[in-house]
Amino acid sequence: MYFCYIDESGTPDIPGTSSHYVLCGLAIPIDSWKKCDNQIRRIKHKYGLDNAEIHTGWILRAYLEQNKIPDFENKSYQERRALVYTERSKEIYRLQKAGNNKLYKQTKKNYRMTESYVHLTYAERMRFIEEIADKIGSWQFARIFAEGIDKTHFNPTKKITVDEMALEQVVSRFEQYMRNTDSTPISLFGAIIHDNNETVAKRHTQLMQKFHKDGTLWTKINHIIETPLFVNSELTSMVQLADLCSFVLRRFFESGEVNLFNRIKRRIDKYHGKMVGIRHYSNDACTCEICVERQRKKPTS
Ligand SMILES: [Zn+2]
């Protein structure tokens, strides 16, 4: 049996704040779960992140106050934390006095979301994410299924929304993978585990019920059981890894960043050597590695 952990990156709204919306599933066979969880815990421990959530978008931001602290990288974790805390308190006080309520609230949120990581320099935080990505890449038993939608090419008059289309694609690929791997009679099953998000929980549950009844546009559903199970991503590290993968894929689609992408891409499902676990929904002229690999295009160089 597989658990397929699903998370998203970017907003599904059009136009929203990102050009792309990515939905990504990371499927792990349940008998490997314990091993994966232990390995991730060990990496977190190395960086003093034992109780922290792996929230990649926040981890890889620039923490400006670190630059203001002389010799920051040569201090202990404890000293760094205390110094950042002081800098941040000063800034919050300054914004409060300046009366810029919007910036004040934004900054407070920024500080709250990043407070678990402030004892690490940017290079260390990047190294941490690289190690996690390398670990995922090494899990030969795991598979990534994803849909990356360039919203500038999405027709908003379609009957289906951006996130519904993405879910249908990811569910279909997960189902197809198990069909290709399974024998007759059916003995392989999978469940979808999703970050608990009130806005999508109801809609995705209903959609999944529809897929069970009518199939998706691409396939009947025989191997996936139940509607998505919703968990708190703060507490479930495998959902955090799906968040990492969707973040990495969105950065790849939007900015062509390959450092992290190259570390996880081995896990994207392949069938007869062809990358079938992912699609980039964009214009026909796209020559990104995924569009090329899916043989929609020949490489230009
Ligand atoms: Zn592409």
Residue 273 structure tokens: 């050597």
CATH number of the domain within which 154 lies:
3.30.420.10
Which domain-ending residue is among 131, 154, 182? 131
Number of domains in the chain: 2
301 in a domain, yes or no? Answer: no
Is residue 298 scored above 60 in pLDDT?
A: no
* More confidently predicted of 84 and 185: 84
pLDDT of residue 295: 67
Going from the Cα of 297 to the center of ligand 1, the distance in angstroms, rounded, reads: 9
Indicate the average pLDDT of the chain: 93
299 in a domain, yes or no? Answer: no
Q: For the packed helices 122-138 and 237-255, what is the interaxial angle rounded to 10 degrees?
A: 100
Three-state DSSP class for 22? strand
Which helix or strand (DSSP H or E) is residue 143 part of? strand 143-150
Going from the Cα of 250 to the center of ligand 1, the distance in angstroms, rounded, reads: 11
Which helix or strand (DSSP H or E) is residue 28 part of? strand 20-29
Q: What is the mean pLDDT of residues 27-36?
A: 97
Enumerate residues with CB within 5 Å of ligand 1 (an ion).
Answer: 280, 282, 286, 288, 291
Going from the Cα of 203 to the center of ligand 1, the distance in angstroms, rounded, reads: 28
Instruction: Provide the domain limits for residue 61.
Output: 57-131
- pTM, two decimals, is 0.93
Q: Which residues of 270-282 are buried (b: 16+ CB within 10 A; e: fewer)?
A: eeeeebbbbbbbb
Which are the contacts of 49, defined by CB distance < 8 A and separation ≥ 6?
116, 117, 120, 128
Going from the Cα of 247 to the center of ligand 1, the distance in angstroms, rounded, reads: 16
Going from the Cα of 161 to the center of ligand 1, the distance in angstroms, rounded, reads: 20
Residue 49 structure tokens: 């992140």
300 in a domain, yes or no? Answer: no
Which domain-ending residue is among 91, 106, 131? 131
8 and 156 fall within a common domain: yes
Going from the Cα of 173 to the center of ligand 1, the distance in angstroms, rounded, reads: 18
Going from the Cα of 289 to the center of ligand 1, the distance in angstroms, rounded, reads: 7
166 and 89 fall within a common domain: no
298 in a domain, yes or no? Answer: no
Going from the Cα of 292 to the center of ligand 1, the distance in angstroms, rounded, reads: 7
Q: What is the mean pLDDT of residues 222-249?
A: 93
pLDDT of residue 195: 87
Q: For residue 16, what are the CA distances in angstroms to 7, 10, 19, 21, 145?
A: 18, 8, 8, 9, 24
